[in-house]
Amino acid sequence: MIDIYVYRKGAVGTAKLEELQAITAEEPEAVYWIDMRDPTHEEEDAVLATTMQFHPLAIMDCRRERVDPNRGDHLPKVEDYGRYIFSIINPIELGPADDSGMPVIATRQLNVFLGHAFIVTHHYEQARAIEEVVEACSRNAMHLGRGPDYIYHLVLDAIVDDYTPILDVFDEHIEDLEDVIFHGAPQTALPQLLSMKRQAFKLRRITTYQREMVYRLSRGEFPLVTQDEIAYYRNVFDHLVRAAELAESYRDILTGLLDAYLSMTSNRMNEIMKMLTIISTIFLPLTFIVGLYGMNFDTSSSPYNMPELKWALGYPMVWVIMIATSIGMLIYFRRKRWI
């Protein structure tokens, strides 16, 4: 689907694709925005290649998600083609939780062509930021009247604002994991930790690439971003810096939690092994005593063959020896502070 919004004479209206060339030729002051939402291959050819005559490499990047879905979304980037700027943004949202119950970050690919009097947005999935900016333009026509670079700022700002609730969810889950780990560290905590660490790394990677892209837009590198709008891009950049720093801190916190979990698990395993070793050590002399008196050599053949077998208190004596040996070993272990 293709939606075209045109600002002219202080108002925002809609137009058809075949009307664009007439509008640009007859109304040089007009500003237009082409939003391509899940377009067909034919619509992409008509707008991107025929009407706007964008570079084939940029069009290829736009189509990557549909042509090769296994490769995933293209990472954020910005390229200057002279007549226009081509950039890729990755809006993020929370998808369904994974098997461990942890949140999963889903990325989207939003392609943007920014020119002197036009902006073209291309996306295959629903883009909440685009919908918010379209609604804002319908309420206030001057948004589009300020130029396509201002519209682009609004889109970026809406995308970055969506980071806040996602970061809040990460905060909550990390706090829950801290409580779980430091109050018992059950086996279910490990897959949750690994899942959160993987998502934190993904969030950090996206925010880092996106931060660098917005930084290039905010430092005046591209003439199509006017000096009047650079301050707005710097504001978006500041928000992205904070988001990237939080994502980095999440990764460090989760790494620390993973180390703490492994350390606690190792300590618990050492305690178990120590108790098993103590039990084995206590039973070792008892096994020797039982084995010794289980040989049953005939005492009539030699006076040295198990004289205790003829004693009336031989059986109780063996029990006394085994109990005394066990108690003595426990006292020794306690004095050595092994238990």
| Domain count for the chain | 2
Sheet holding 11-14, edge to edge: 11-14, 2-8, 31-37, 118-123, 110-115, 84-89, 77-80
Instruction: Report the residue count for the chain.
Output: 339
Same domain, 125 and 168: yes
Evaluate whether residue 179 is within a structural domain.
Answer: no
Is residue 330 a contact partner of residue 282, using CB atoms and an 8 Å limit? yes
CA angle (160 as vertex; 217, 71 as ends), nearest 5: 85
Same domain, 252 and 325: no
- The CATH number linked to 205 is 3.30.460.20
pLDDT confidence of residue 45: 85
pLDDT confidence of residue 100: 67
In degrees rounded to 5, what are phi and psi of residue 115?
A: -120, -170
Same domain, 126 and 163: yes
For tokens 């700027």, name the residue: 85
pLDDT confidence of residue 113: 92
pLDDT confidence of residue 185: 62
Concatenate the DSSP letters of all residues of 94-121 into one string.
Answer: EE---TTS--EEEE--EEEEEESSEEEE
pLDDT confidence of residue 290: 83
What are the residue ranges in the chain where pLDDT is below 50? none
Print burial letters for 293-302: b (CB count within 10 Å at least 16), e (below 16).
beeeeeeeee
Evaluate whether residue 178 is within a structural domain.
Answer: no
Domain termination residue (choose one: 214, 232, 265):
265
* pLDDT tens-digit series, residues 224-265: 888 888 888 888 888 888 888 888 888 888 888 888 777 777
Range of the domain at 220: 2-173+185-265
Six-digit token string for 244: 């990237």
Six-digit token string for 100: 């461990």
* pLDDT tens-digit series, residues 102-125: 778 888 888 999 888 888 888 888
Q: How many CB atoms lie within 10 A of CB 304?
A: 8
Tell me which H or E stretch contains 123.
strand 118-123
Q: Which of 122, 101, 105, 102 is nearest to 113 (CA)?
A: 122
Same domain, 252 and 300: no
Evaluate whether residue 180 is within a structural domain.
Answer: no
